[in-house]
A and B are shown apart, each in its own frame.
Chain A
Amino acid sequence: MASAFGGPVSLTFQPIHACRKNKNTTFVASLAYVIEAAPLRVVINNREQHLKTKAGESPLLLQLRNITKRYGTYVANDSVDLALEHGQICAILGENGAGKSTLMKTIYGIQQPDEGEIVWNGEKVAVTSPSVARDLGIGMVFQHFSLFETISVVENISLTVPGSLPDLAEIIRQKADEYGLHVNPDAPVHGLSVGERQRVEIIRCLMQDPKLLILDEPTSVLPPHSVQQLFGTLRKLSERGVAMLYISHKLEEIRDLCHCAVVLRQGRVTGTANPRQATSAELARLMIGQDIPTARHAEAKPSCEPALTVSDLTYENPDPLGESLDSVSMAVRPGEIVGIAGVSGNGQSTLARILSGEIRLQGHMAGRIQVFDHPVGDAPPGTRRQMGVTFVPEERLGRATVPTMSLADNVLLTAHGAGLVRKGLIRRRQQADFADKCISAMDVRSRGRQSIASSLSGGNLQKFVLGREILLKPRILIVSQPTWGIDVGAAAMVRQKLVDLRDTGTAILMISEELEEIFEISDRIHVMYHGRLSPSVQARSVTAEDVGRMMMGEFDQKMRAA
């Protein structure tokens, strides 16, 4: 099946048992070695290939046959077939809840299929746990991260990769330079931004010498030039026989990188395509069964009085590895969307927490943030909500929602002030109504308001969170990474909702790493770089190249020169 589109790439290598022996030495666990050692392997592999072909060995690395996974009556995967050759990069496309994550978890051994079988190198295998998967040579970069927060980056990596800490730290630094995955090996994970955590995940996987890499939205937090670097790496790996399953919603990337694409819808394989021949629009149609809706985006009609003002805000993060802010100034007026672009880790998450009240300012800095001319810098989040400010943070699970609570209970988190609580008692009827309204208004696909938040896919959870905050009729909405890791259909809907909200006169501040998104719906654009915020530019009169240069700090030098 797989070879029908794209075909096998260049050389097909058998995975090598010699490699396992290498795992015991520190350095060899690194990707560098895999690449360096490749010529040696060709010799070994040719011989193995020869022997195995004689024995009638299949050239396929991975085959899924008839995989079915049910949760109660809900069928997450329905008779899914898939075949993957050595070195092949195959895109897994599908809307939120289409069953992509379920399928990947099955391959990685996190859960067992109810029916069907997994064939690895021509042999039926039972992948009973992730450690079995890793022993087979399967690595996975997760969408929700699997790092321990309280220990450092290198300590996390040492949990699964043998070697002394200083050696591993050195390798991590090399990887970081090589792939633009900048991360400090000694930084504790709890202080890292979402983007940095994903970089750690990618590095960790690359260090484990995988034959199959499962990548769940790997580029969503990488700056544009690093994406190309990463793709270079992935292509090299592919040429050396490492196959990849690549979940992404960025169709251009899939066309750029992948040899084949399998489309899932409602748990079934509904189509396959050659992403290099299909246009983005065609791929999108296969995925969601209709054309991509784009945000209707009329010219903003902002009023003159700013709703939210930040003036010359400087914040020294007490955590030496945390992000600080340096003289940040901006204003957001009712009826406009102001976008803050920039690579994550430049101070955006600190700014978002200061605006939300999760970090509170002391003393004279308290007045540097004003909501309708009232200083709020030292006010707790609840007070700011009462003034009509709502927030959609970048971490949906664990921050915007309590993972183990139902949607109904998660509504209470921020909507308790909207008549859901009277005299300290929770009003169950109003709570249920609010949750239902939120679910239907945002088309949240779930099993109703009693669904546990963590059971929803990323996109549906984001729709729920955004819906909850919009239903509060905010005068100011501050949203971080609104479409991070969610599919094109849900992303388009989220953006449309933001534009609609803007048109009702809400002031919206959007922090996003996705330039396309910034351009699609912002009216004005700021760029953040090393804790500094650029002056704003009109979204309609600036080019992506200009903003790209600003993302590299160019505005800053101009400011200093002036």
Chain B
Amino acid sequence: MMGRYALVQRSEVSLKSIMLVPLVTFVLALLGSMVLFGFLGAPPLEVLYRLLIDPLASAYNISEVVIKAAPLILIAQGLAIGFRAKVWNIGAEGQLIIGAVAASVIPITFPESQNVLMLPAMMLAGMIAGAAWAGIAAALKTRFNASEIIVTLMLNQIAVQILYFLINGPLKDPMGFSYPQSVSFPPVAMYPLLSDDGMLRANASILVVILLSIAALIYVTRTFSGYTLLVGGLAPSAASYAGFSAKKAVWITLLIGGAAAGLAGVGEISGPIGRLQPSLSPGYGFAAIIVAYLGGLHPVGILLAGTFMAIVYVGADGAIIDVGLPPAAPVIFQGMVLVFYLASFALVQYRIVRVQPEARA
């Protein structure tokens, strides 16, 4: 017998089932990749091992995980504050680039400097530039009601072109055999490494990220300002009744998100890269959107989700080389995470019911 199916909103959604969503998402995405990559000839268990266990199996791999987790978590913390207020900043990638470009001007101008204040100055410059880049979207939103989704998305492209222009022009290393890249940064422009072992690249930026995550936790759970943003996201009429300015919320959230992304950009050039170059991020700004939602838009959840995504990033990188996965594997995996997340989140809020074709009275 044929029946129609419909989604019906659940009257009650338990906290437990909401907490289960990320877990179910991870498991399904892992199973999905085992199956999908299995079809490409990779043995499923090998894929699982590569994605989950191998990244944690050596000090080098763990160090790589830390390097990738730092920008993911940092950007996601900033974005989540906006998402909770229903301000959709999807331009973190561009804000990261602009932050990196602005910060790189300092070491490129003073390549021989030994001033220990250089890294703090770069962090500050990166945050200000990232915030200013996001601020364009805030200004257009509050002045002309332009959708911040479109504006931030398009600013990504502009940021990339600015980077390309500068790296082929004023910021190019004149001695670099016309490679589009800057001079190498002096040691004072770099985050200190966490260990003396020359092989391990993990640096102190992760400590900054953890500190800022704690700050984010305090901001969203303890401060009145964080509360007003959440009210604006949940019930705009209530925010207006209470007198919480919607424009202020747009400004605060976009500036915070932009500053976090800009700082993440500094983390790249002052960390594993060590100079300005055309490719600064393998899409951290977009992956961080997934991290923010997987983490339930909660600072602690984002720490966990960002670490998980970093593990899979590193695992997939290794698997591309060793097991012969396609280079798109990490992106495919991210896509699966997103789809499974949306599906399980929908099923937590709605249930599927069979609609009888004709209810006989």
Contact = CB atoms under 8 A, between A and B. Distances in A.
A276 interface: no
Q: Chain B interface secondary structure, helix, strand, loop or mixed?
A: mixed
A358 interface: yes
B241 A393 contact: yes
Interface string A403-431: 11100010011101000010011100000
12 contacts: A110-B11, A111-B11, A121-B361, A125-B359, A132-B359, A356-B241, A399-B237, A402-B235, A413-B238, A414-B241, A416-B224, A426-B223
A421 B224 contact: yes
Interface stretch (A263-271, A379-387, A432-440): A379-387
A69 B202 CA distance: 56
A185 B112 CA distance: 73
B237 A398 contact: yes
Given A385-B243, A399-B238, A15 B361 contact: yes
Interface in A97-129: 105, 110-111, 120-121, 123, 125, 128-129
A131 B234 contact: no
Contacts of A409: 227
A71 B12 contact: yes
A129 B224 contact: no
Contacts of A402: 231, 234-235, 238
A88 interface: no
A83 B241 CA distance: 44
Interface string B182-222: 00000000000000000000000000000000000000001
Given A71-B12, A129-B353, A393-B241, A136 B361 contact: yes
A357 to B, nearest CB: 6
Interface of B: 6, 8, 11-12, 222-225, 227, 231, 234-235, 237-238, 240-243, 245, 353, 355-356, 358-361
Interface string A284-318: 00000000000000000000000000000000000
A253 interface: no
B361 A426 contact: no
Contacts of B11: 105, 110-111
User: Quick one: which of B8, B224, B243 has the most chain A CB within 10 A?
Assistant: B243
Given A395-B237, A399-B237, A412 B227 contact: yes
A400 B241 contact: yes
Given A132-B355, A136-B359, A425 B240 contact: no
Given A399-B235, A399-B241, A400-B241, 15 more contacts: A129-B8, A136-B361, A380-B243, A398-B235, A401-B235, A402-B234, A402-B238, A403-B234, A405-B231, A405-B234, A412-B227, A414-B241, A424-B223, A426-B222, A426-B224
B224 to A, nearest CB: 4
A517 B234 CA distance: 33
A135 B358 contact: yes
A555 interface: no
A391 interface: yes
A131 B11 CA distance: 16
A548 interface: no
Nearest 4 interchain pairs by C-beta = A381-B243, A382-B243, A399-B237, A402-B235
A137 interface: yes
Interface of A: 15, 71, 105, 110-111, 120-121, 123, 125, 128-129, 131-132, 135-137, 356-358, 380-385, 391, 393, 395, 398-405, 409, 412-414, 416, 421, 424-426
Nearest to A452: B12
Contacts of A398: 235, 237-238
B38 to A, nearest CB: 39
A400 B238 contact: yes
A104 to B, nearest CB: 13
B224 A425 contact: yes
Nearest to A128: B353
B73 to A, nearest CB: 24
A129 B6 contact: yes
B252 to A, nearest CB: 12
Contacts of B358: 135
A79 to B, nearest CB: 21
Contacts of B361: 15, 120-121, 123, 125, 136-137
Given A111-B11, A125-B359, A136-B359, A404 B234 contact: yes
A135 B361 CA distance: 9
B233 to A, nearest CB: 10
B222 A391 contact: no
Nearest to A109: B8
A382 B244 CA distance: 8
Nearest to A385: B243
A400 B231 CA distance: 11
Contacts of A416: 224
A474 B8 CA distance: 44
A420 to B, nearest CB: 8
Contacts of B240: 358, 381, 399
Nearest to B232: A402
A380 B235 CA distance: 18
A272 to B, nearest CB: 26
A357 B243 contact: yes
A135 B237 CA distance: 35
Contacts of A426: 222-224, 227
Nearest to B224: A421
A400 B8 CA distance: 28
B237 A131 contact: no
Which among A136, A391, A426 has the highest number of chain B CB atoms within 10 Å?
A426
Nearest to B238: A402
Nearest to A123: B361
Contacts of A421: 224
A161 B212 CA distance: 53
Nearest to B358: A135
Contacts of A405: 231, 234
A191 to B, nearest CB: 13
A381 B244 CA distance: 8
A121 B360 CA distance: 10
B241 A129 contact: no
A168 B227 CA distance: 44
A399 B247 CA distance: 18
A414 B242 contact: yes
Contacts of B360: 123
B227 A403 contact: no
A345 B252 CA distance: 36
Given A424-B223, A424-B225, A426-B227, A131 B6 contact: yes
A401 B224 CA distance: 16
B232 to A, nearest CB: 10
B241 A358 contact: yes
B15 to A, nearest CB: 11
Contacts of A132: 355-356, 359
Nearest to B8: A129
Nearest to B234: A402
Contacts of B356: 132
A424 B224 contact: yes
A201 to B, nearest CB: 18
**Residue picked from B12, B358, B359, B360, most chain A C-beta under 10 Å:** B359
B173 to A, nearest CB: 45
A401 B238 contact: yes
Contacts of B223: 424-426
A414 B239 CA distance: 10
A71 B14 CA distance: 12
A395 B236 CA distance: 13
A382 B240 CA distance: 10
